[in-house]
Amino acid sequence: MHVTFYGAIREVTGSMHLLESGKDSILMDCGLFQGRRKESDAKNRIFPVDPSHVTNMILSHAHIDHSGRIPLLIKGGFNGRVFTTRTTADACSYLLRDSAHIQESDALYLNYKTVRGHLYNLANGKKNDLTNREQSEITKLLKHNGLRLNKEAISKLLTQYNLNSVEPLYTMTDAEAALSAFDGYPYNTPITVGKGMTLTFFEAGHILGSALCLLSFREKGRRFNVIFTGDIGRFGRPILRNPTLSFPENIGPIDLMIMESTYGARHHEPAEELKDRLAEVINATYNKGGVVVIPAFAFGRTQDVVYIIHELRNEGRIPKLPVFVDSPLAGNLTRVFAEHPEVYDKATHKTFLEKGLNPFEFKGLNYISTVAESMECMKTTTPHIIISSSGMCEAGRILHHLRYRVHNPNNTIVIVGYMAQHTLGRRIMEAGWEYKKQGRTGKAPIVKILGKEYPLKADVVKIGGFSAHADREEMYTFLRKSNLHIKNIAVVHGEEEQSLAFADFLKEKGFKAFVPKKGQTITID
C-alpha cells in the first residue's frame, strides 16, 4: 500500500492525499489552496495527480480547503464517485456553486482591469490623465449601468485587442458536473469503495457532516486499516456530537492515521466561557444603544452563533433585540442544518427539537436575502445584531455593514473566527486590540474598507472559544481515550511549526509520528 501526501502538507489549505492499493487509487479530499491570491491561484492550477488514474474519492467534510478542487478533478477526466456523508453532500451543493461563482467573478474582474488599462492607454496614457468624460465613457462601455461588469463587452474587447485573458479556475458548469458525482452516506456504515475495500465514516465533531474516514482493505493476504481524520472538532461544543472515541471492536490495528494539526502547539480558551462572553458583549452594546456586528463563515460559525443567541434569549440573559443573518449562502446552509437533525447532539434535541423548536428559527431572527433588505438593515439605528460573511471580511456583504458601523464607539465588532494574515478581519482585530490597549484615547486607527478609509472607533472583542478545531490537548484526548491501536501517525494540515511541534509531542507521549513532505510517498507492507 502506498500513500502520497499532496496537499495541506506543512500548511493548512489544499488538503489532498492519495492511497494506492492494487488497482485502487483513492483520493482523500481535493481541497483548494487559499491565501495570497497569486500564490494560491498558481498552486490550484497544477493538479498533482492524473485525475483519470483516480478510481474513487472520499471527502472528509464540506469546507472548501477540503472540497474546492473537486470540479477540477472531474474536468480532468475522473470517472469515479465522490463518497461523503449525506450532510456534506448537501452542503457542497451550495458551497461548490458558490466557489465557482467566486472563481468566475474573480476572473471577470481581472479581465475587466486588463481591458480598462488598455483603453486608458489608448485614450491618453494613465487614468489621471483622462478627463472625467473619457473615464465615464470607458466605464459605460465595460459596466451595465455603471455598476455590474459587462461580461460580453469585456470578452469581445479582449479578443479585439488580442489581450491576455484570465480563465476561471472552474465554472458553474464544472461545479454542477462535479456535484453529480457525489454520493452521500450515513455514519457508521461500511460502504464498498474498491476491490475488497470498505470505507466507514465516523463523527469528527468539526462541522456538520464532518467525518473521520476509515479505509479497510486486504492486500498480500492481510488486513490494512487507514484512518484519515479530516479536521477534528472539539468536545462539548454546541449542536454537534463529540468526535468518535469508540470504534468497532473488531477493526484491528490502524496501520496509518493521517491526522490534522491546525492547533498542534496551541491551547484554546474553554468552550464553556464563550456563551457568557457573548452575553456580556451583547448586553453592554445594547445598553449603549449600539449594534453588534459579527463577521462569520457561512457554514458552521454562523449557525453556532445563531444557536447560542437563541439559547441566551430563551434563558432571558439578553434582551429580545432583532437579529439579522445577512448572507444568502448562510441562509441556504442553515436550511441544510435544519434538514439534518439526525446528526445533532443530545443537548440540541433536548433544548429545541423535543419542544418542537427549530434551533435556527426564532421570533426576531431574520434571514436577509435581497440587497434592498440588506441596505435597509445597514441604515437601522436601533440596537440589533448582524451576522454576515465572508468570515475574514475579505468580500461579501459584511464589508458594507462594517462600512456603516466601524466609526461609532457604541457599536461592537465581535471576532468569532480565525483571521488569516493579510485580511481585513485580521487588521480590524489587531488595530482594535492596539487601540484598546491605549485606553481608546487619541486618534482612532484607520481601516480601509472597499477602497475608503474609516476610523475604527467601534469596540473590537475577540471570543476564542468558538474554534471548530481541537487544540493539542483535545487531539491528545481523542487519541488517548479512543479504543484504537495506532501504529503510525502522519501529521498533516498545520503550519509547519504546528505540525512539527505536534509530531514531537506525540513522540513524547509514545506514539510513532512523522510530518511528511509535500509529494512524499510512503509504502506500508
Shortest reach from residue 58's CB to Zn ion, in Å: 15
Shortest reach from residue 470's CB to Zn ion, in Å: 11
Element (H, E) at 139: helix 132-142
Q: Cβ closer to Zn ion: 231 or 311?
A: 231
Q: For 464, which DSSP code?
A: G
Q: Take residue 311 and report the three cell numbers written for it.
A: 439559547
Shortest reach from residue 361's CB to Zn ion, in Å: 26
Q: Which of 423, 426, 422, 372 is nearest to 400 (CA)?
A: 372
Q: Using CB under 5 A as the criterion, what x/- string covers residues 56-85 for binding Zn ion?
A: -------x----------------------
Q: Using CB under 5 A as the criterion, what x/- string covers residues 18-57 for binding Zn ion?
A: ----------------------------------------
Q: Cβ closer to Zn ion: 285 or 389?
A: 389
Q: Take residue 406 and report the three cell numbers written for it.
A: 466601524
Handedness of CA 23, 28, 30, 35 (dihedral sign): negative
Q: Take residue 169 and report the three cell numbers written for it.
A: 479556475
Q: Take residue 157 and report the three cell numbers written for it.
A: 474587447
Crossing angle of the two packed helices 86-123 and 132-142, in degrees rounded to 10: 140
Q: Cβ closer to Zn ion: 15 or 285?
A: 15
Shortest reach from residue 391's CB to Zn ion, in Å: 12
CB 208, CB 103: distance < 8 Å: no
Shortest reach from residue 482's CB to Zn ion, in Å: 20
Q: Cβ closer to Zn ion: 231 or 326?
A: 231
Element (H, E) at 292: strand 292-295
Q: Take residue 241 and report the three cell numbers written for it.
A: 456530537
Size, binding site for Zn ion by CB under 5 A: 2
Distances from the Cα of 388 to the Cα of 94, 257, 265, 293, angstroms:
17, 36, 30, 8
Q: How far apart are the C-alpha atoms of 178 and 157, rounded to whole Å?
A: 31
Q: Using CB under 5 A as the criterion, what x/- string covers residues 137-166 for binding Zn ion?
A: ------------------------------
Shortest reach from residue 38's CB to Zn ion, in Å: 24
Distances from the Cα of 417 to the Cα of 31, 334, 463, 466, angstroms:
20, 18, 8, 7
CB 323, CB 293: distance < 8 Å: no
Residue with grid cell 478627463, as numbered in its chain: 131
List CB contacts of 402: < 8 A, sequence separation 6 or more: 293, 295, 393, 413, 424, 428, 447, 449
Q: Cβ closer to Zn ion: 204 or 424?
A: 204
Shortest reach from residue 14's CB to Zn ion, in Å: 12
Q: Using CB under 5 A as the criterion, what x/- string covers residues 429-458 for binding Zn ion?
A: ------------------------------
- CA 232 to chain centroid, in Å, comes to 14
Q: Cβ closer to Zn ion: 243 or 445?
A: 243
237 part of the interface to Zn ion, by CB under 5 A: no
Shortest reach from residue 368's CB to Zn ion, in Å: 26
Q: Using CB under 5 A as the criterion, what x/- string covers residues 196-235 for binding Zn ion?
A: -----------------------------------x----
Contacts to Zn ion by CB under 5 A: 63, 231
